Amino acid sequence: MGTKERRKREIEEMRLEIIEAAVQLFVTDGYENVSMRKIAQQIDYSATAIYKYFANKEEILIHLLKHGYAIFLTCLKEGVANCKSSHPGERLNALLYAYIDFGLKHPEYYRLIFVENLHQLQKVMTEEDDRVRGFVLLTEMVMAAMNEGVLKKHDAHMAAQSLWASLHGITSLLITFPDFHWHEKEGFIDFQVNAMIKGLT
């Protein structure tokens, strides 16, 4: 009898309902306003019912992070795909812009993943295919750019880490300190990306 299968599916449906409610609360009210009681209220259950489907709030956070990280990877891949050129330098450039764009388009997710919960990133990515993980993507494109002579031949891993650092710097500062007297945004981003590339040339 498939009763066991059905229950398994029902449990998965309930888990989905819970994280959907959590996502909705997160995008509308921000993470600081996602409480177990509010999630429960949204799906007409008691707060403690959730604990039959998730061990604790952290498990729900992990799902929010996975959700956001999937959007992140999509943005990166789209950004590179939208780059017509097949030149490694151009494609790397497109990736760098795509990273910053993700942050500016999804500031709550960027904050949640890269500012507040970076130490959890391992847990978020364990089930992902290695080849689509963000940093691997970046490293591969750095290597390609080096092989084509666009970048000077350093240690590709270190160069990629340096690029990530600079990308994270401008993205997180623009997001977490919007009231600072920043230079006009587009121009500032262009300047930073150019400086980053030039620094490795």
Which token pair is 35?
């409480």
What is the amino acid identity at position 191? Answer: F
Q: Tell me which of DNA, a copy of itself, none is bound by residue 83, counting a contact when its beta carbon lies within the kind-specific cut-off of 5 to 8 angstroms.
A: none
Which token pair is 101?
């764009």
Minimal distance, residue 176 CB to a copy of itself, in Å: 5
> Which residues of the shown chain bind a copy of itself in the complex (CB under 8 A)?
115, 118-119, 121-122, 154-155, 157-159, 161-162, 164-170, 172-173, 176-180, 182-183, 187-188, 191-192, 194-201
Neighbouring residues of 59: CB distance < 8 A, sequence distance ≥ 6: none
Shorter beta-carbon distance to DNA: residue 91 or 111: 111
Q: Tell me which of a copy of itself, DNA, none is bound by residue 46, counting a contact when its beta carbon lies within the kind-specific cut-off of 5 to 8 angstroms.
A: DNA
Neighbouring residues of 32: CB distance < 8 A, sequence distance ≥ 6: none
Give me the DSSP letters along 11-70: HHHHHHHHHHHHHHHHHHH-GGG--HHHHHHHTTS-GGGGGGT-SSHHHHHHHHHHHHHH
Minimal distance, residue 115 CB to a copy of itself, in Å: 6
Residue 47 in contact with DNA, rule: CB under 7 A: yes
Distance separating alpha carbons of residues 108 and 31, to the nearest angstrom: 8
Q: Looking at 13, 29, 30, 37, which residue binds DNA (CB under 7 A)? A: 37
- Contact positions vs DNA (CB under 7 A): 1, 3-4, 6-7, 11, 14, 34-38, 44-49, 51-53, 56-58
